[in-house]
Structure 1
Amino acid sequence: MSAAGPAAELRTELSIETRGLTKRFGHQLAVDDVDLAVPKGAVFGFLGPNGSGKTTTIRLLLGLASATGGSMRVLGEEMPGKLNDVLPRVGALVEGPAFYPFLSGAANLHRMDAADPYGVAATRRARIQSALDRVGLTHAADKKVRAYSLGMKQRLGIANALLAPRDLLVLDEPTNGLDPQGTREVRSLVRSLAADGATVFVSSHLLAEVEQICTHAAIMSAGRLVAQGTLAELRRAGQARIRVLTPDPGTAAHVLAGLGLTATVSPDGAASAGPDAVLFAPLPAPAAAPAPAARETAGAADAGPQDVEPEAVVAALVAAGVRVRGFATEQVSLEDRFVALTGEGFDVVQ
């Protein structure tokens, strides 16, 4: 196989691929050398605080802005050179939908589809009805958009993205303004789109939503891509910790220190656990397995914190007379990982 073979095969498996993507506004670097890889058929969460470059990246991918540097491929085609070939296969909802307020929802979709040179007039009415049905707006099809709630307008925007079969859906904050029922409906819709074979690229600040519907995610910070992969990979990259509930925190902390673990007492432990204290201690990431020769020469003295297993921690605590009322290992959440990578909490105002 030629050297170009594997690369070509990889590209066919990616719905979005960027290499060194950069966008500068004057002296401001909004997107900085981003290498993004969105697998075909994934529900991909695109995360980041305000000003991190998420929306600018989306605008670059859709040809709504010009890149300063780097390259992009969308659905296997070079962008923006193949823009006219790619966009008919892409449905998008970016920065909130805009509609004629004096027209009904169905009439707005009719005008938008009629303005699409690829829209087939003979099937227009059926496609509009199908799109409205998929987003739960059939009952409001004839209502003027000025009477729509924010959530209804958001769903109408998604319906517009679904007027034709799409290989890629790009949704910017798709659950913005939705009530819990509407959120569940959009969540179900996203899953069904992926089940039908589409790739769904979701920009969102709602970590709980991303964890429920996405298979993969990427995290942006200050214009740079700081992490990407499956949700499981992103969580595993963080540091797990142990949680100990005990009325003997001093002795427990001493035992943990002997195992190379630094314990901290939860500041609200007394309030939540009564007379007991809650201790947390981060577990070092597992070390890579040594080569066979290294294993033969390695002695017990070489064992470090990376060799500590949760079971051994419990045994050491009990052996030292610590009264263990509760013990658990906790994997980092996506939110923990986000904060560790960006140094920020989530500002939900977009």
Structure 2
Amino acid sequence: MTAVGPATELSIETSGLSKRFGQQLAVDGVDLAVPKGAVFGFLGPNGSGKTTTIRLLLGLAAATSGSVRLLGQEMPRQLHGVLPRVGALVEGPAFYPFLSGAANLHRFDAADQHVPAATRKARVQSALEQVGLSHAADKKVRAYSLGMKQRLGIANALLAPRELLVLDEPTNGLDPQGTREVRNLVRSLAADGATVFVSSHLLAEVEQICTHAAIMSAGRLVAQGTLAELRKAGQARIRVLTPDAGTATQVLARLGLSAAVDGPAAAGAPGGAMAGNPNSGSADSDGEVLYAPLPAAAGGEAVAPEAVVAALVAAGVRVRGFATEQVSLEERFVALTGEGFDIVQ
């Protein structure tokens, strides 16, 4: 698990955070470190403990053990001083169905003693504009679609300037256009200096908007760090395109490399286009694609890829494409959790 340096200012920090429901340990010793100003993806399959962890962060549930600090303050002890600086969307948003979207936001804002009433109308209008609901401001919420209700929930979190935004599955129920709008909104909030903590089980969402991520599995935090660090943590591999797959496999075996033809990431693997053959994601007229994990040499350095190419050519293998690559983010997550993710919107 990647650690955050001691000099890094954290917006969210937990230590040994745990929550037990009877015999079930829903959150097990989680140590989160969310840097200030990050767009932080909180990943995991459904049921992995993400929402329970968020409820513990915000003081909506009491931890069985461990500690939480938000914006440098201890929670829930400093809850009343911290939460006005935090905007949140947790689980499905609930509204008065017989009121309009704007009226709902007015009521929620009126319940916040830390915001000025004089600017309420302008702030409600601004929040609705940010989430693309200005056209439906006067429409009763009972007529809203699921995606519109989700946007209204995000608007509620944006009624006042926030230092930290905690969004639990913010694109749930949104169409592709709405999903893109929420992504742009998250980027703009981060650009304005806010820390955005986004819970999701959609890899595409995290890869497009997040700078950092953490991965939950069965209540435990199994990895965290920047996206680049998470990818690099997986084992590097080589990728060979050749019409002589049989001979190439034998040569690689002599080098201690166990090759697989058209491995599990052959289709659509990031960085997969070979030199001179951008469509080489699977077997084609140029031959077959072989994958082989690249082990470390005795000195701790990776086996030189050029030595692999030289051995293949010396054995008469026609090498029509060669690349070294890290495993994809999808493969890394599945390896850590043992479960699948939704990777397309």
TM-score normalised over the length of structure 1: 0.88
Tell me if the contact between 1:259 and 1:308 (Cα under 8 Å) persists in the aligned partners: no
User: What residue in structure 1 maps to residue 288 of structure 2?
Assistant: 277
Say if 1:307 and 1:170 are closer, same or farther in 2 by CA, change over 3 A.
closer
Q: Does 1:112 align with 2:123?
A: no
Aligned AA (1:111) = R
Aligned partners of 1:307, 1:347: CA distance in 2, in Å? 32
User: What residue in structure 2 maps to residue 312 of structure 1?
Assistant: 307
Say if 1:153 and 1:258 are closer, same or farther in 2 by CA, change over 3 A.
same
Aligned AA (2:209) = I
Tell me if the contact between 2:263 and 2:291 (Cα under 8 Å) persists in the aligned partners: no
Q: Does 1:136 align with 2:147?
A: no
Q: Does 1:328 align with 2:323?
A: yes
Say if 1:193 and 1:53 are closer, same or farther in 2 by CA, change over 3 A.
same
Deviation of 1:272 after TM superposition, in Å, equals 3.5
* Structure 1: 5+ residue stretches without partners: 1-5, 288-301
User: What residue in structure 2 maps to residue 123 of structure 1?
Assistant: 119
Tell me if the contact between 1:50 and 1:347 (Cα under 8 Å) persists in the aligned partners: no
Say if 1:149 and 1:133 are closer, same or farther in 2 by CA, change over 3 A.
same
Q: Does 1:148 align with 2:148?
A: no
The match for 2:153 among 130, 150, 157 is 157
Aligned partners of 1:195, 1:277: CA distance in 2, in Å? 45
Say if 1:271 and 1:125 are closer, same or farther in 2 by CA, change over 3 A.
closer
User: What residue in structure 1 maps to residue 198 of structure 2?
Assistant: 202
Deviation of 1:218 after TM superposition, in Å, equals 0.2
| CA shift digits 1:216-264 (9 cap, x unpaired) | 0000111110000000000000112111111111210111122221111
The match for 1:59 among 34, 55, 58 is 55
Q: Which is richer in helix?
A: 1
| CA shift digits 1:97-129 (9 cap, x unpaired) | 111111111001001101112231111001001
Structure (1 or 2) with the larger CA radius of gyration: 1
Aligned partners of 1:64, 1:250: CA distance in 2, in Å? 59
SS of the equivalent of 1:139 reads: helix
Aligned partners of 2:282, 2:163: CA distance in 1, in Å? 52
SS of the equivalent of 1:119 reads: coil
Q: Report % sequence identity.
A: 82
User: What residue in structure 2 maps to residue 345 of structure 1?
Assistant: 340
Tell me if the contact between 2:37 and 2:195 (Cα under 8 Å) persists in the aligned partners: yes
Tell me if the contact between 2:259 and 2:290 (Cα under 8 Å) persists in the aligned partners: yes
Q: Does 1:217 align with 2:213?
A: yes
Aligned partners of 1:130, 1:274: CA distance in 2, in Å? 56
The number of residues matched between the two structures is 324
| CA shift digits 1:16-48 (9 cap, x unpaired) | 000011111111111111110000000000011
Q: Does 1:34 align with 2:45?
A: no
SS of the equivalent of 1:208 reads: helix
User: What residue in structure 2 maps to residue 182 of structure 1?
Assistant: 178
Aligned partners of 1:118, 1:101: CA distance in 2, in Å? 26
Q: Which one is further off, 73-82 or 247-256?
A: 247-256
Tell me if the contact between 2:262 and 2:283 (Cα under 8 Å) persists in the aligned partners: no
Aligned partners of 2:141, 2:86: CA distance in 1, in Å? 24
User: What residue in structure 2 maps to residue 226 of structure 1?
Assistant: 222
SS of the equivalent of 1:209 reads: helix
Say if 1:70 and 1:114 are closer, same or farther in 2 by CA, change over 3 A.
same
Aligned AA (1:125) = K
Tell me if the contact between 2:262 and 2:282 (Cα under 8 Å) persists in the aligned partners: no
Deviation of 1:330 after TM superposition, in Å, equals 2.5
SS of the equivalent of 2:19 reads: strand
Say if 1:172 and 1:80 are closer, same or farther in 2 by CA, change over 3 A.
same
Tell me if the contact between 1:221 and 1:342 (Cα under 8 Å) persists in the aligned partners: yes
User: What residue in structure 1 maps to residue 68 of structure 2?
Assistant: 72
Q: Does 1:260 align with 2:256?
A: yes
Tell me if the contact between 2:164 and 2:196 (Cα under 8 Å) persists in the aligned partners: yes
Deviation of 1:274 after TM superposition, in Å, equals 4.2
Deviation of 1:307 after TM superposition, in Å, equals 4.1
User: What residue in structure 2 maps to residue 50 of structure 1?
Assistant: 46
Aligned partners of 1:309, 1:88: CA distance in 2, in Å? 55
Aligned partners of 2:61, 2:238: CA distance in 1, in Å? 47
SS of the equivalent of 1:65 reads: coil
Say if 1:180 and 1:323 are closer, same or farther in 2 by CA, change over 3 A.
same
SS of the equivalent of 2:341 reads: coil
SS of the equivalent of 2:82 reads: helix
Aligned partners of 2:104, 2:302: CA distance in 1, in Å? 63
Deviation of 1:271 after TM superposition, in Å, equals 7.4
Tell me if the contact between 2:202 and 2:342 (Cα under 8 Å) persists in the aligned partners: no
